[in-house]
Structure 1
Amino acid sequence: MHDVTSRERIAGLVLARPRNLLGMEPFMADVVQGIEEVFADRRVSLLIEFAADTAGEIEIWRRWATHRHVDAIIMVDLRAEDPRLAELVQLGVPAVLLGGPRLQAPITNVLVDNAEGARAAVRTLADLGHRVIARVSGPRDMLHCQARDAAFLATCAEQGVAGRLVEGDYSEDAGRDVTRELLTGSEVPTAVVYDNDLMAIGGLAVAKELDVAVPEQLSVIAWDDTAVARLANPPLSVVTVDVHGLGTVVGEALLEVMDGAGVTTYQVPKPTIRLAGSTARRAGS
């Protein structure tokens, strides 16, 4: 892009989030910490901005490219028919995509096996005797949510359990709203798998409000092993990926693309389930 020998290089990250999800959720905070750990003492900085949607994200990218503000871009939350991929090609800025899935596209990709996490969650709960399991997803146009949805439903069928899907937006408020619907509906689940820790925290609050004991009456598993999950009451069982380690992989990938490396696919270890106080065997099973 331009001479970087006399100044720090900069990697840019735009987070497109709904207005009711203020700031950075714990997952991204841990990823950012991992990236910045790699950047320390490398004369590389991380620039973060927020947008309301992907159109706003693209506008920020264009501003960055026009004024040569960044030397690489981090893209997250790939969506169906995502216009950002073509935009990155047109802008010509080196980029790294976090989260996959595997692409036939000119962009370095850090892959996470989202389907395996969903399969592991359902199998764990089925082994504990749960026969009605709900999944609270993030926005369904995100491809990693679609991968989790498909694997969740397929594994529910494989295990002979009833699976329900409801959509949230990653906010604690969404977790509250959809959990209230689930716990006051006609077919009440005995277990819920949430797509992130904040929605699970909202779910725990509603369960307490409705006098549904966790884990005695309702088991909960949340995506991602964050401090929020560990400090919840009770501590959340999680679909665990080393999120900080994921950030370090992204950081190393960014250094490579800024140095002119070709398109690369990075694999991270498959997610597993770590049980904690929010999950138990279904009563009577």
Structure 2
Amino acid sequence: MTNDTRPTIADVARRAGVSKGLVSFALNGRAGVAPDTRERILAVAADMGFSPSLRARSLSVGRAFACGLVIGRSPDVIAADPFFPSFIAGVEDEFSISGQVLVLAAATPGRHEEETYRGLVADRRVDGVILSDLRAGDPRVALVAELGIAAVTLGVPDVDSPFTSVSVDDGAGIRLAVDHLTDLGHTDIAHVAGPTAMLHGRSRTAAFEAAAADRGIRSRVVPTDFSAADGARATDALLDADVPPTAIVYSNDNMAIAGLGRAQRRGLVVPRDLSITGFDDAEIGRHLFPALTSVATDARGWGAAAARALLAATTGGAAEALALPDPRLIVRASTGAPPTA
């Protein structure tokens, strides 16, 4: 390799001590490469500054070398939700090495969303898509299968699916939060939940209700659209009750932060008067006063795993169900013993 030319796949293969075919398999996430060999090849490629010629590869194999992520939420909710930037960073961790491009679109669930998927495929802009925010009876699974492109679902759909799923047990994190609060002595805990139409919103609510029943405590659930504004509204409704809860388990950190603000505006001291837990462990929660107890999920790792699975699917890999490690509860200063009478 000369100083005035960029490294080629042959240069990467030579330095890594493997064949060009094995380098190609590793860069495209295809099966047949041992994990340690794949990591070594990717490390060599990164060290050499290898960047595949996307145009040449597209012309040679008739593929777009791009994958889509269509987010069916309000742009305001997307902008405020810390999950998506972390998840997308994980996807880019993989795509930056393999030479893929991420095509991102926000679309209103329903007709506009369907048109977005059809347009991506009709224009041959993507080879596959990541389906996020799965819904009950999600029609996108059948739609994408009909369109004939590869896909990966974030979570396991409740309908027949030919696609690989990459999932995290959200319920495990909610159960940890309920157990933590009951161990502190709380017997009246509320859940500010996500939309009932979303499977992960449902699973978190079901886990909360089951955990509360197991521990024999009083519980109540207020559904929201996952936005901070709706989290604030739900918090006000709970604190206005004749007998308000002594702790609230929120389904994401944005709503928990909004709830913390509403409680303090009323003159309540957290956690002396009210304990609060979040979900996703957003960095900002660690810098609040008091710092937010939250369920930690590895959104970036989830994005990387989804990207690897999608790369495998676009090259004919068999569908499988991939389960990531369970969430952890990070205990901080926003939770404590319930107030004494």
- TM-score past 0.5 threshold: yes
CA distance in 1, matches of 2:175, 2:100: 38
Question: 2:33: which partner in 1?
Answer: none
One-letter amino acid matched to 2:131: M
* Aligned-partner SS, 1:23: helix
Assess if the C-alpha contact under 8 Å between 2:80 and 2:254 holds in 1: no
Tell me the CA shift for residue 164 of structure 1: 0.7
Question: 1:63: which partner in 2?
Answer: 119
Which structure has the highest helix share of the two? 2
The aligned runs of 1:166-185 (5 Å cut-off) are 166-185=222-241
One-letter amino acid matched to 1:32: I
CA distance in 2, matches of 1:147, 1:75: 17
The aligned runs of 1:14-33 (5 Å cut-off) are 14-18=70-74, 20-21=76-77, 23=79, 25-33=81-89
Q: Does 1:244 align with 2:300?
A: yes
Question: 1:192: which partner in 2?
Answer: 248
* Aligned-partner SS, 1:41: helix
Question: 1:281: which partner in 2?
Answer: 337
Which residue among 154, 158, 170 is the counterpart of 1:98?
A: 154
Q: Quick check: which has more Rg, 1 or 2?
A: 2
CA distance in 2, matches of 1:136, 1:4: 52
CA distance in 2, matches of 1:92, 1:34: 25
One-letter amino acid matched to 1:73: V
Structure 1 unpaired stretches of 5+: none
Tell me the CA shift for residue 21 of structure 1: 2.1
Tell me the CA shift for residue 23 of structure 1: 2.3
Assess if the C-alpha contact under 8 Å between 1:18 and 1:53 holds in 2: no
One-letter amino acid matched to 1:139: P
Tell me the CA shift for residue 95 of structure 1: 0.3
Tell me the CA shift for residue 182 of structure 1: 0.7
Assess if the C-alpha contact under 8 Å between 2:175 and 2:211 holds in 1: yes
Q: Which has the higher contact order (CA 8 A, sep 6+)?
A: 1
One-letter amino acid matched to 1:274: I
Tell me the CA shift for residue 36 of structure 1: 0.5
One-letter amino acid matched to 2:233: D
Assess if the C-alpha contact under 8 Å between 2:64 and 2:125 holds in 1: no
The aligned runs of 1:110-259 (5 Å cut-off) are 110-259=166-315
One-letter amino acid matched to 2:333: G
CA distance in 2, matches of 1:6, 1:104: 29
Which structure has the highest strand share of the two? 1
| % identical aligned pairs | 37
Which residue among 258, 264, 282 is the counterpart of 2:320?
A: 264
Give the CA RMSD over aligned residues. Answer: 1.9
TM normalised by structure 2 equals 0.79
* Aligned-partner SS, 2:272: coil
CA distance in 2, matches of 1:63, 1:150: 36
* Aligned-partner SS, 2:98: coil
CA distance in 2, matches of 1:4, 1:220: 55
